[in-house]
Amino acid sequence: MTAHLPVLQVLVPLVCAPFCVLLRSRTAAWLLFLFAALASLTCAVLLAVRVGGDGAQRYEMGGWPAPAGIEFVVGAFNTPVLLVVSAVAVVVAVYSRRSVTSEVDARRVPLLYTCLCLTLAGLLGLTVTGDVFNAFVFLEISSLSTYALVAMGRHRRALLASFRYLVIGTVGATFLLIGIGLAYAVTGTLNMSDLARRVADLGDDGGGNRALYAAVVFVFVGLAVKIAVFPLHAWLPGAYAQAPSAIGAFLSATSTKVAIYVFCRFAFTVFGTTLVFGTMPIDRIGLALACLAMVAGSAVACFQTDLKYLLAWSSIAQIGYILAGISLATTAGVSAGYLHVINHAVLKAALFCAAGLLVLRLGSARFTALAGLGRRMPWTFAAVVIAGLGLVGVPPTAGFASKWALLTALVDQGQWAVVAAVLASSLLAMVYIGRIVEVAWFREPAEPGTGPTASKAPASMVAAIWVLVLASVYFGLDATWPAGLADAAADALLANGGE
Amino acid sequence: MTTFVLINVTLLAILIATALTISGMRTLYAATMLTALFSLVTACLFVLLDAVDVAFTEAAVGVGISTVLLLGVLSLTRSREAVTPRLRRLPGAVVVLFTGGTLIYASQDLPEFGSPTTPVQTHPLTDVYLRQSQEDIGIPNTVTSVLASYRGLDTLGELVVVFTAGVAVLALLGPLMQPAEAREREVLDLVDYRVLRVVTGMLMPFILLFALYVLFHGDFGPGGGFQAGVIFASGFVLYGLVFGLDRAQQVLPRRVLWVLIAVGPVLYAGVGVANMLLGGAFLDYDTFAPDDAAAGQHIGILLVESAIGVTVAAVMTSIFFGFANRVESSR
């Protein structure tokens, strides 16, 4: 059965989704999602062990050899993403039980878990597939289910946020499809390894083939929408902030991260570094946009008056760090990018989960509701502060480890402008985290009894938050495990997918 | 050859003219009808390219069901487009021109149209799909071989996309609606027109039979689960339009639809799991008949196509019901 692990990784959540619809019970649907998340985490761990031992694992669908059929490839470059996505799914599954019940109409809950299973399956499929068109199919599954999830938010504004995301996201997906189509026309294949070979055969600079250049442009613009790279980020704040809290936590930790992984997969192992970073200026564009994202994202975050929106804008800045690392196209840079993918996923999930707890207890995550929080809910406040310091990158936290790796990689390449942007963004992060502390600790509490309040924080939600917070602290104190994963991933990518 | 070129040029000219007209229109009903025309012309172009399966799908989905669904949406909203200020249209125009420019730039190095030496034609894959498949799978329609077997996972994925769309519509319109309550009898149902009633009654068996034919004929000619599902759904939609939603929902109650939506992905993935239990890879239909690979492939493809047909029909019908219920309860 272990030979089937790559397909089981995706299949279990995929099959759980229709069963959620068939059983039509809230508890059953939740149990199915929990089961799907646990099963994917088990698969991811077993696969990571196998990849560590025997190198990349390939699985041929339907028994058809690779270019004729579709293959799944699990290597050092995607195991970290599989681990992050499925681990966050498990935590969110625990967290979601109470959070979702309090925020979503009971009749919609089974459908919410259906969509959550589908998103999980889509993201995992996108990560393991070794076929470009199959990647598009999984992108469609994850995107469509995400639109539905965002639309289930508490306020009517969630519908607008979802519609916005749907329109922008569909344009992005279409661009990706056009790019894949052009690449197919030029090479005659959809398999990633085969594509890479045939692109390489065209010559170092793609043989001057303009259709191939356009393919690269379309693929990367399409992915940039999904990553929420700075000028294409407009969908993100509304989508994360208006979605039900558990969904916001899950999406913020996983969906852009998987898109970033797909970006790496296309850049390093499909089109190849010489074409993407040599002939075409994707690296320089990436660095420039990363700087803009870091500064603008953090600056806008400073002016938000709702914790969830603040966190969403901070995500845009953090995506900038990851993009900067990857755009360097050096082992150290890509490794720093991967490390920050892991650390940011943990930190942002923790913060969004905490925001969801505040919504449950206080009825809102607006700053007016948060006033005096530090004295009423000291533990939640502590969790927010610890994870917030991680976002800033204060020394013994996870954020520091990845930021330090990124700065080292940037200094190695002499990218002083980007270094300055990272530092400026960190200062701004200090400002917006400081604002939360100011509101929560120093401001007098507003008159009690505004909005629906729960008297006690549910243990499952508190546990989920603290698991994430403690994980982030642990990754800050002892970064060997995530850093080892990130280094292996970077090595595998730069060695052309470890083939 | 010249007639071919002439037909192609004419069709493309009609296509461009339709697209330009649509983009200039404010009345959404007319725009919807023109998008149907757009799809019809596209379908004709696909036929000229010998992509009959794609043409069939485009005709069934683009012209048929999506037009009906769009009209269903329009009956809920205003049917006139709001005016966007000129200044706000500018960024859109820039993006469109940039995208079009990149596509034209790309087209300069695209392989020559219809040439036998394009990378796609010379890739060994083409030989596998066109020749080898006759031995491996043994069905005349290679499109079905590629779709249901070689790239079966993609098709499972597309089925899940349809399923997701159905779930999304149910989540937004479904369980929060109480169709049984507060519904007034309409003044004049279409059912009061005798001609419509009789003709629809006569057509129904033919539509459903045709859908079954398309479903099972996919091995030999254009057709398959997606097209069949859409034809099934259009049959039910027609029935619902003429005999009223109540009677359509008596024939196909929501509870049944809800189950049918989920049956397809379960069946499709179940086939794959069965293959794994029989000792093959996921979706390796050969394992169904170890002595005769082609027979196994036949069984697998048949099951998979049926799974697609069921879910596509159920999703399309329930999307229509979802919108139509909304219309009736908002009256």
Mean pLDDT over each residue of chain A, to the nearest integer = 89
pLDDT tens sequence across B231-250:
999 998 888 888 888 888 88
Residue B311 pLDDT grade (very low, low, confident, very high; cuts 50, 70, 90): very high
Is it the case that residue B293 has pLDDT exceeding 50? yes
Helix (H, G, I), strand (E, B) or coil at A395: coil
Whole-angstrom distance, CA of residue B130 vs CA of residue A3: 30
Angle, to 10 degrees, between the axis of helix A378-392 and the axis of helix A331-362? 160
Q: What is the mean pLDDT of residues B70-98?
A: 85
pLDDT tens sequence across B120-134:
888 888 888 888 888
Q: Do B265 and A15 touch (CB under 8 A)?
A: yes
Question: What percent of chain B shows pLDDT beyond 70?
Answer: 93
Q: Which of A223, A222, A215, A220 is nearest to A187 (CA)?
A: A215
Is it the case that residue B187 has pLDDT exceeding 70? no
Whole-angstrom distance, CA of residue B291 vs CA of residue B279: 14
Minimal Cα distance from B106: which residue of A? A211
pLDDT tens sequence across A281-339:
888 999 999 999 999 999 999 999 899 999 999 999 999 999 999 999 889 999 999 99
Does a structural domain hold residue A189?
Answer: no
Q: Tell me which amino acid residue A322 is.
A: I
Report the pLDDT value the prediction gives residue B127, as an integer from 0 to 100: 86
Does a structural domain hold residue A128?
Answer: no
pLDDT tens sequence across A345-376:
999 999 999 999 988 888 888 888 888 787 88
Helix (H, G, I), strand (E, B) or coil at A58: strand
Does a structural domain hold residue A155?
Answer: no
User: What are the residue ranges of helices labelled H in chain B?
Assistant: 2-24, 28-48, 52-57, 66-74, 86-107, 119-122, 124-127, 133-136, 142-144, 152-173, 194-217, 225-243, 245-251, 254-277, 293-330
The total of other beta-carbon atoms located within 10 Å of residue B252's CB is 18
Contacts of B110 in chain A (CB under 8 A): 182, 185-186, 211
Minimal Cα distance from B128: which residue of A? A68
Report the pLDDT value the prediction gives residue A308, as an integer from 0 to 100: 92
Does a structural domain hold residue A13?
Answer: no
Interface mutation target, options B160, B259, B311, chain A, most CBs of A under 10 Å: B160
Closest partner residue to B281 (CB to CB) among A63, A108, A189 is A63
Residue B190 pLDDT grade (very low, low, confident, very high; cuts 50, 70, 90): low
How many domains does chain A divide into? 1
* Structural domain harbouring A342: 286-499
Is it the case that residue A377 has pLDDT exceeding 90? no
Is it the case that residue A26 has pLDDT exceeding 80? yes
Q: Do A189 and B281 touch (CB under 8 A)?
A: no
Does a structural domain hold residue A390?
Answer: yes
Report the pLDDT value the prediction gives residue B201, as an integer from 0 to 100: 87
For chain A, how far is it from start to end, CA to CA, in angstroms?
Answer: 25
Q: What is the mean pLDDT of residues B176-200?
A: 63
Interface mutation target, options A145, A156, A198, chain B, most CBs of B under 10 Å: A145
pLDDT tens sequence across B155-183:
999 999 999 999 998 888 865 555 544 44
Helix (H, G, I), strand (E, B) or coil at B267: helix
Closest partner residue to B150 (CB to CB) among A14, A22, A69 is A69
Report the pLDDT value the prediction gives residue A263, as an integer from 0 to 100: 94
Q: What is the mean pLDDT of residues B211-227?
A: 86
Question: What percent of chain A shows pLDDT beyond 90?
Answer: 60
Residue A208 pLDDT grade (very low, low, confident, very high; cuts 50, 70, 90): confident
Ranges A142-156, A469-483, B178-192, B289-303: which has the least confidence: B178-192
Q: Do B153 and A134 touch (CB under 8 A)?
A: yes
Question: Which residues on neighbouring strands pair with residue A459, listed in sequence order?
Answer: none
For chain B, domain boundaries: 1-110, 123-331
CATH class name, domain B1-110: mainly alpha
Contact call for residues B137 and B149 (beta carbons, < 8 A): yes
Question: Which residues on neighbouring strands pair with residue A74, listed in sequence order?
Answer: A57
B296 in A contact zone (CB under 8 Å): no
Is it the case that residue B10 has pLDDT exceeding 80? yes
**Which residues neighbour B316 within 8 Å (Cβ) at sequence distance 6 or greater?**
B65, B69, B229, B230, B233, B234, B237
Is it the case that residue A273 has pLDDT exceeding 90? no
Residue B68 pLDDT grade (very low, low, confident, very high; cuts 50, 70, 90): confident
E strand or H helix that includes residue A390: helix A378-392
Residue A448 pLDDT grade (very low, low, confident, very high; cuts 50, 70, 90): low
Is it the case that residue B210 has pLDDT exceeding 50? yes
User: What are the residue ranges of helices labelled H in A188-303?
Assistant: 192-201, 210-227, 236-242, 245-264, 273, 282-302
Does a structural domain hold residue A197?
Answer: no
Report the pLDDT value the prediction gives residue A499, as an integer from 0 to 100: 44
